[in-house]
Amino acid sequence: MPEYDLDLQSIQEARALAVAARDAQRQFAHASQAEVDRVCAAMAEAAHAAAVRLGRMAAEETGYGVPEHKTLKNVLCSKLLWDAIKDIPTVGVIRHDPQRKVYDIAWPMGVVAALTPSTNPTSTVMFKTLIAVKARNAIVVAPHPAAARCCLETARLMAEAGERAGMPKGLVSCMSKVSLPGTQELMCHRYVALILATGGAEMVRAAHSVGKPAYGVGPGNVPVYVDRSADLRRAARYIVASKAFDHSVICATEQAVVADRPIAAQLAELMQAEGAYFVDEAQKQALAALLFSAGQLINPKAVGKSPQQLAQLCGLSVPASARILVARLDQVGRTEPLSGEKLTTVLGWYEAGGWEAGCERCIELINFGGRGHSLVIHAQDDNVVMKFGLEKPVFRIVVNTLGTLGTTGLTTGVMPSMTLGSGGVGGSITGDNITVHHLYNVKRLAYELHPAPEAAFRPGSTDDPIQLKRNGASGAAAAATIGPSAGLSSDRIDEIVRRVLEELGR
């Protein structure tokens, strides 16, 4: 079939799904909290039951990552996410301040266009569907072309479960004919009220350029600082496991270690025992050429690959036991490609003399493609931890845990999320972990607390030049109405006339 036919079909499908979503959302907007929660619980249960199958399907279709790890992300974005948001009120009065006499009333956004990535496809569909419907929105998923089938299947089974529980048909849907023009048509459609964009920088820029409210996420060049006070054995285990998790396709994965120099050698040795293979200079150059063959953007063929797959792609030999590849670096920026975000099992390595120098190196890395995103720190010294928390231009700083699982809410108390805001410094409207609270507006019903000042009820002064202009008074007429009989001096009259003439542009 010619490509333009697919584009036309994709555009038409986007329009049809947006219209159906709008009609379904108009019905669902009147649902009670109990009805909303029954629908969401059914969808979460269906997604959780299919977590293993969908994780395998995502890995097979995209060629990225590890099926077992994708299963864990599916569990996070179904059962664990629902456990975190199920008790959040989203219908009617959600808060009341009796002292201030203010009622907060939740109001849905409408139709949400959800752009999903190829790296975390099924888990992102689950996540966005649950938070959108919990807030009484409709959602239309626009999958990455490389993950269209697994996204469609995830949306299908969740929609069927929701409809069995009383959800209007069309409230949850996914595009099956995927093309760039079709996705653009969906984002621009008049019935789409909000865009949720998770993916590469180009996708996020496109979402923000539509002129509609949009939540997007930027790249995550996440440094992990290991202080001399850290539990080194745990730090080594966590860093290797986190970087190897799903072959490093989560944007909050550690991208470079910054090791405090007094403990650097011991940390490297402990990481090697966990499966970290430190490459030599020639191997480092070969990896850089493979990963960034087209400039700053990573080569799609290298995304989400094991060390052995990467070695095969660039003609290297690495041990079968290697879980990640580590490259020693000494610069940050364009001259050192491996200092940027690497959505694969390659980790940078820096050494710094003391936490202050480590702090500066981390800021360099964050500024090179990760502003506003995340940082990991391993330390037992709370003063060092707080210094990093206060000074780093990122909105998730996770302590003594895995970057991949801590930032997304599996091992920490932050909200479970697959869309991690990077705030104003990273080009996003928020630095939050996007969740249900971001998917509804709040109306406020407020009663009078204090009587209005008496001055509010008095007529305006007759020497107000703006009022005089509105009344059509000329400068001379104005002077006549406020002459000596009004008790004004000649200087005051001259000043008023001058103000009126200036207001009239004369």
**Range in 58-72, 248-262, 447-461 with the lowest mean pLDDT:** 447-461
Which of 286-300, 383-397, 402-416, 448-462 has the highest mean predicted lDDT (pLDDT)? 402-416
Q: Report CA-CA distances (Å) from 442 to 37, 64, 106.
A: 19, 39, 5
What burial class does residue 279 get, using C-beta atoms within 10 Å of its C-beta: 0-12 exposed, 13-18 middle, 19+ buried?
buried
Q: What is the C-alpha to C-alpha distance for residues 74 and 263, in angstroms, rounded to an integer? A: 37
Mean pLDDT for 215-243 is: 94
The three-class DSSP label of residue 336 is strand
Mean pLDDT, the chain, rounded, equals: 91
pLDDT at 354 over 50: yes
Q: What is the C-alpha to C-alpha distance for residues 119 and 131, in angstroms, rounded to an integer? A: 20
Q: What share of the chain is helix, strand, coil (3-state, %, to 5)?
A: 50, 15, 35
Q: How confident is the model at residue 367 (pLDDT cuts 50, 70, 90)?
A: very high
Going by their DSSP bridges, the two strands 372-378 and 394-399 should be labelled as parallel
User: What are the DSSP calls for 76-131, one per residue?
Assistant: IIIIIHHHHHTTS--SSEEEEETTTTEEEEEEE--EEEEE--SSSHHHHHHHHHHH
pLDDT in tens, 152-192: 999 999 999 999 999 999 999 999 999 999 999 999 999 99
- The strand order across the sheet containing 440-446 reads 93-97, 102-108, 440-446
pLDDT in tens, 63-74: 999 999 999 999
pLDDT in tens, 296-330: 788 999 999 999 999 999 999 999 999 999 999 99
pLDDT at 483 over 70: no
**Range in 209-213, 237-241, 343-347 with the lowest mean pLDDT:** 209-213
pLDDT at 209: 78
- Phi, psi (degrees; rounded to nearest 5) at 188: -90, -10
pLDDT at 480 over 70: no
Q: What is the C-alpha to C-alpha distance for residues 14 and 121, in angstroms, rounded to an integer? A: 19
pLDDT in tens, 255-270: 999 999 999 999 999 9
174 is an active site residue: no
pLDDT at 433: 94
pLDDT at 465 over 60: no
pLDDT at 476 over 70: no
Mean pLDDT for 470-487 is: 50
Choosing from 40, 77, 150, 251, the catalytic residue is: 251
Mean pLDDT for 473-499 is: 59
pLDDT at 503: 62
User: Taking the CB of residue 431, how many other CB atoms lie within 10 A of it?
Assistant: 18
User: Taking the CB of residue 301, how many other CB atoms lie within 10 A of it?
Assistant: 14
CB 208 within 8 A of CB 214: yes
Query: CA geometry: angle at 369 spanning 367 and 372, to 5°?
Result: 65
**Range in 151-155, 244-248, 461-465 with the lowest mean pLDDT:** 461-465
Q: What is the C-alpha to C-alpha distance for residues 267 and 403, in angstroms, rounded to an integer? A: 17
pLDDT at 466 over 60: no
pLDDT at 473 over 70: no
Q: How confident is the model at residue 200 (pLDDT cuts 50, 70, 90)?
A: low
pLDDT at 478: 46
**Range in 1-15, 141-155, 157-171, 465-479 with the lowest mean pLDDT:** 465-479
pLDDT at 475 over 50: no
pLDDT at 246: 96
Helix (H) or strand (E) holding 346: strand 346-352
User: Taking the CB of residue 447, how many other CB atoms lie within 10 A of it?
Assistant: 8
Q: What is the C-alpha to C-alpha distance for residues 49 and 79, in angstroms, rounded to an integer? A: 9
Q: How confident is the model at residue 494 (pLDDT cuts 50, 70, 90)?
A: confident
- Sketch out the chain's domains with CATH numbers: 3-217+436-445 (3.40.605.10), 222-412 (3.40.309.10), 459-503 (no CATH)
Q: What percent of the chain has pLDDT over 70?
A: 92
Q: Report CA-CA distances (Å) from 415 to 398, 408, 409, 486.
A: 13, 7, 5, 67
User: What are the DSSP calls for 127-192, one per residue?
Assistant: HHHHHHHHTT-EEEEE--GGGHHHHHHHHHHHHHHHHHTTPPTTSEEE-SS--HHHHHHHHH-TTE
Mean pLDDT for 129-143 is: 98
CB 178 within 8 A of CB 32: no
- With b for 16 or more beta-carbon neighbours within 10 A and e for fewer, the 234-246 pattern comes to ebbbbbbbbbbbb
